[in-house]
A = this chain, B = another copy of it.
Amino acid sequence: MLHHSILDTLPADIREDALSSLQPLQFEQGKILFRAGDPCQGLPLVLKGTVKVQMTGLSGNSIVLYRMGADDICTLSIGCLMTGDGFRAEAVVEDDADVFMVPRGLFDRLMEQSASFRLGIMESYGRRLNDLMLLVEEVAFRRMDERLVHWLEARAGQGEITITHQELAVELGTAREVVSRLLKELERKGRLRLSRGKIEFTGSFTG
C-alpha cells in the first residue's frame, strides 16, 4: 500500500537505503503541503490521495495548475530544492494523502546512482510541462462554457458533486459570477440541478 513505483525499480541495495530513511507523512484533506513563499523541504512523492497545486496572481485570483495522484511526483519542488527559492504556488490536499519527503541529499544520491530514478524524474517533468502547456492553450483560447462543461463531464460519474461556485472558478481560473451564470444557464437547459454547495447531474448531462 505505502509504496511508490519510482522506488520499485531501484537496485535492491539503494532501495533499502532509501526506504530506511523515509517515513510516510500523512496529510488530511484540506491541509496545505506548501504555500507560496515556503522554502522546499524535500521532494514529495505522493503515495496515496490527491493534491492540487494552485497559484494566486497579483490580482488575488487563483487558478489550479494541475493535480497529483498516487504515484505522482511533485516535480515543481525539484527546482525549489535546487535553487533554494521559495514556491510560487501552493499545494492543497484534496483526498487524505500519504507522502514520502525525499530530502536533498537522498535525491542527489538517487539521481546519481539509479538510471530508472532519473528516467522517472524526467518523465514526470515532461508530463508536467505538457500539462502546463495545454493549460496555457486552454486558458488563452477555449470558451469558458465549454471548459466548464468539460470539467463537469469528467466528474459527472457520481451523479452529483460537492463544490462551491467559488472553488469551481478557481479550477477554471475565472470569476465566481461567471461560473454562477454559466451553471444557471445549464440548469435552465435541464442538464443539472443546483443547490447550495452542490451540483446534481440529470440523466441528460453526458448525452
Q: Number of A residues whose C-beta is below 8 Å from B?
A: 43
Task: Find chain B residues with CB under 8 A from A115 CB.
Answer: 108, 112
Task: Find chain B residues with CB under 8 A from A133 CB.
Answer: 55, 65, 88-89, 132
Which one of B78, B112, B126, B136 contacts A135 once the chains associate, using CB atoms below 8 Å? B136
Residues of A within 8 A of B (CB): 55, 57-59, 61, 63, 65, 75-76, 78-80, 82-83, 88-89, 108, 111-112, 115, 118-119, 122-123, 125-130, 132-142, 173-174
Complex CA–CA separation, A134 to B55 (angstroms): 9
- Interface core residue of A55, A112, A137, A174 (most chain B CB under 10 Å): A137
Complex CA–CA separation, A89 to B63 (angstroms): 23
Dominant SS at the A interface?
helix
Task: Find chain B residues with CB under 8 A from A112 CB.
Answer: 112, 115, 118
Which one of B118, B136, B174 contacts A65 once the chains associate, using CB atoms below 8 Å? B136
Other than the given A55-B136, A112-B112, A129-B132, 17 more pairs (CB < 8 A) read A55-B133, A57-B137, A57-B141, A58-B137, A59-B141, A61-B141, A63-B141, A65-B136, A78-B125, A79-B125, A79-B126, A80-B126, A82-B122, A82-B126, A88-B134, A132-B132, A136-B136
